[in-house]
Amino acid sequence: MRTRPLKVALLGCGVVGSEVARIMTTHADDLAARIGAPVELVGVAVRRPSKVREGIDPALITTDATALVQRGDIDVVVEAIGGIEPARTLITTAFENGASVVSANKALLAEDGAALHAAAEKYGRDLYYEAAVAGAIPLVRPLRESLAGDKVNRVLGIVNGTTNFILDKMDTSGAGYSEALDEATALGYAEADPTADVEGFDAAAKAAILAGIAFHTRVKIGDVHREGITEVTAADIASARRMGCTVKLLAICERAADGRSVTARVHPAMIPLSHPLASVREAYNAVFVEAEAAGQLMFYGPGAGGSPTASAVLGDLVAVCRNKLGEATGPGESAYTRLPVSPMGEVVTRYHISLDVADKPGVLAQVATVFAEQGVSIDTVRQQGKDGEASLVVVTHRAPDAALSGTVEALRKLDTVRGVASIMRVEGE
């Protein structure tokens, strides 16, 4: 074993960063044995130096992150500050000054991953980011390495623990969205400002990263169709149950049947209770990968939190340090297919549409005519009426999303349709 330690700089010492530092200290001997050399934490960049950080030598704390990554003797920089800037500049500066980078920054990678990979390649450095997607679940490396010889056609999963907790509570307790969100906040599953989670931004960033790796093409967060869960109601959950389904916020990345394009989307969807994703409870994540040779693979585990995310960071740190010792680099960006990302309107989906209609003869015929005119086939329909009011629930066969959207707009114009109570896609069948 080499006795000279590999030097590590840590950017950020919040929930994830502090756990990374703790594990590096408490498991130092094991890490050294697995790497083939000791690792030494030589600096920790923070915004508030006065905050007490147990287990971290105060002499390591600095507010000058730029000076830390410019030192020139750093082997690996662990970036755990998040956001676009200054993270982007600090990472590229680290490459320029001889360090490889381990990052947990999904937002930056989904927005500017191509440029970061290019910088890493230019300077001969590693860029690893297992922790950016699904916490402790090994997902990025299996896609990037284990399935490198296979053809991945679809990635489908639950990649945000906060939204899964909320939807699970709505399903199991009958709570409304606001009540379930309050519980998630009280338990620490939701941030004080939960927008990134509940509006689907977090899941969309992860979908962009997964689609890019799976399909060997460049996908940015702006290419991902995004819908959150704020409009999901207790009535939607009840409707799903009547269909033998539950509601999940899904990230779905697919290769087109002709292989000429890909799609990436995040939205709530009804899935059958028989589907394995339906049983993913509370704040857990699970992802299905469908490949031509390997078939269906499922990855399951905690998708967030300090310890799970730090586990992924440390796994990358070990891999990057091994590469350093071997004077090699791991796999970089693979975007050779250059496949375009199709708009949501071209995606073929099923819909569950709940309508408030007048309770009188001919309404169902009018509604069915609208579907036929838009080229959308009806799978099932259920009608209930009382005191001049009625509800009509329609489940369609698969059709282009644009046709289904056009159908909804045409339904709104019918005099007999009082309102569209809910619209939700149906997946997993």
Contacts of 186 by beta carbon, 8 Å cutoff, 6+ apart = none
* Catalytic status, residue 151: no
Rg, Å, the chain Cα set = 24
Q: How many CB atoms lie within 10 A of CB 147?
A: 19
Q: How many CB atoms lie within 10 A of CB 340?
A: 12
Alpha-helix runs per DSSP H in 174-305: 177-186, 195-198, 201-215, 234-242
Q: Please name which of 105, 96, 38 lies closest in space to residue 69, comparing C-alpha atoms.
A: 96
Catalytic annotation, pick one of 206, 220, 248, 324: 206
Two structure tokens written together for 64:
């000058």
Q: Please name which of 64, 65, 125, 128 lies closest in space to residue 95, comparing C-alpha atoms.
A: 125
C-alpha torsion sign, points 104, 109, 111, 117: positive
Pairing of strands 399-400, 295-302: unpaired
Residue pointed to by tokens 């700089």: 9
Length of the chain, in residues: 429
Q: What distance in Å separates the CA atoms of residue 79 and residue 10, rounded to the nearest whole number?
A: 6
- Enzyme catalytic residues: 206
